[in-house]
Each structure stands twice: as structure tokens, then as C-alpha cells.
Chain A
């Protein structure tokens, strides 16, 4: 019995690790991550950030960058984003708080005019550091 458990345990651990990686694999990945020096550029994959379940996943992946990976300089690239609900804004606010608590910097870039209007209406363009494009967002990070 003991010998069987010893043989089975590593196999189960491998399955667990594979499952964890699959959860962050292409099928569930909502962010494309790139590095520029010590700056993390996280580009949203989805055009429509509306679905509550999807927003929850996106939020978790954003927070993981700070809480699990220890990244402190993060740029969120909105190039692909065509629609954004207020629930998504909530996750961004929480992300901003986490980055500030970690004494880091968070910037948003390449936000389309319709989406920028949503930030302006809600005055969140005053809360977030928003830049026109990635080049401007990288300056002085």
C-alpha cells in the first residue's frame, strides 16, 4: 500500500501542475503578457469585456501579476478592447489599489475613444494614469 502511494503521488502532483498550467493556458488566458525591461505589458485578449464570469477571470489574472508574480510596473494595453462594462471598471480600480499598495506603477494605454469616454464620464480618467499609446506609457516607467 505504501509503495503504491509513493509511486502514485508524483503522478498526481504532475496532474495538478498540468491542470494549473492549463487554467492559465491559451484557452483561459485573457491577457497577453510581454516584458520590456522591468515593465510588464498586459494586453487584453477580449474585444468585449462584458461577461461577468469573464471579468472575474480577467480580474484574477490581473491581480495574480502583482500578488503571485510580484510585478510592480504594469501597463494595461487596451488596443483590442471595443466594449467595457462597469464591472470591468471595478476590477481595474481594485488592480490600481493593489499596485499602489505594492508601491508600484500602473498605466493604461491605447484606449479607443468610445472606451475613453466611459472613463471620462465616470471621472476614472482622473484616477488612472492613461496614455495614448504604448510608447508614451513606457516613458518614465
Chain B
């Protein structure tokens, strides 16, 4: 059984800081031999999630922070991202693939997360997101809503 490492980091509302976290997590995956497609998917999901937390959750407020906790071993990586925003109505996110939304410039982040991660779960208010990628999840699509 591989050893599990855990991390707990708090960053300011700056996308560059989010990218540093992304590199740490992706680096941990690469050093543990995760498949390139899994690394690709997690990097993309983290980018979307961290930008959402900073831009939409904290509204780029320099007085607000984002907490990122993650654990990783050879079989899974689990990341919990919590912002200090008011959250959002998770069930009201429009489908970006509907005809009327297809040419809108935004609104695709959550869909991409759900496509590449094994688990994408928001808390009730929508300001805490759990992402998980398991190596035994072959198709990479989220199974649960």
C-alpha cells in the first residue's frame, strides 16, 4: 500500500498563487507515475476550480483567501478547495452545450471538471468544492451528481 501525503495551504485571491498549488499537486501525480491523461485532466480541473474560487467566489478580493487541502497516494488524489465567498446556486448552472449557450464565452469550467474527475462535489452553499481522481476510474467521467 502506497503512503499517503497530506497538505493544507491557504493562498490569497491571486491566480498566480493558485497556479503554484496546481504545479505542486500535478508534480506529486507525475512523481507517482499517474497516467498522462489523468495528469492532464487534474491540471485542467484544478485550473478551473481555483480560478472559480478566486474570481467568482472571492471576487478577487485581496482580503479574502482560498484554503486548499489535498491528499495523494498512488491510487488517488483528493483536493478540497474552499473560498470565502457567499457560494452560488449549484443546481442553476446552465448547460454550456445547449444551443443558446454554445457561443457564450464562459460557463464551461464545471462541465470540464465533471468530465475529467472521478468526484466533483460542492457543499450546500457552493463555496467548498471536493475534487477526486482515482486511478481505477478508467473513463474519467464523474459517476455521481
| A124 in the interface (beta carbon within 8 A) | yes
| B11 in the interface (beta carbon within 8 A) | no
In the bound complex, how far is the Cα of B18 from the Cα of A25, in angstroms? 28
Q: With A86-B108, A87-B51 as known contacts, state yes or no: A51 contacts B15, CB within 8 Å.
A: yes
Majority secondary structure, A binding face: helix
Q: How many residues of A are in contact with the other chain, CB < 8 A?
A: 23
Bin chain B's interface residue count. Answer: 20 to 34
Q: Which residues of B contact A (CB under 8 A)?
A: 15-16, 19, 37, 40, 43-44, 47-48, 51, 55, 96-97, 102-106, 108-109, 111-112, 115
Contact in complex: B104, A93 (CB < 8 Å): yes
Contact in complex: B43, A122 (CB < 8 Å): no
Q: Which residues of B contact A51 (CB under 8 A)?
A: 15-16, 19
Per-residue 0/1 for A60-94: is the Cβ within 8 Å of any B Cβ (1 yes, 0 no)?
00000000000000000000000101110111011
In the bound complex, how far is the Cα of B110 from the Cα of A122, in angstroms? 11
**A-B pairs with lowest CB-CB distance, top 4:** A90-B105, A86-B108, A123-B97, A121-B115
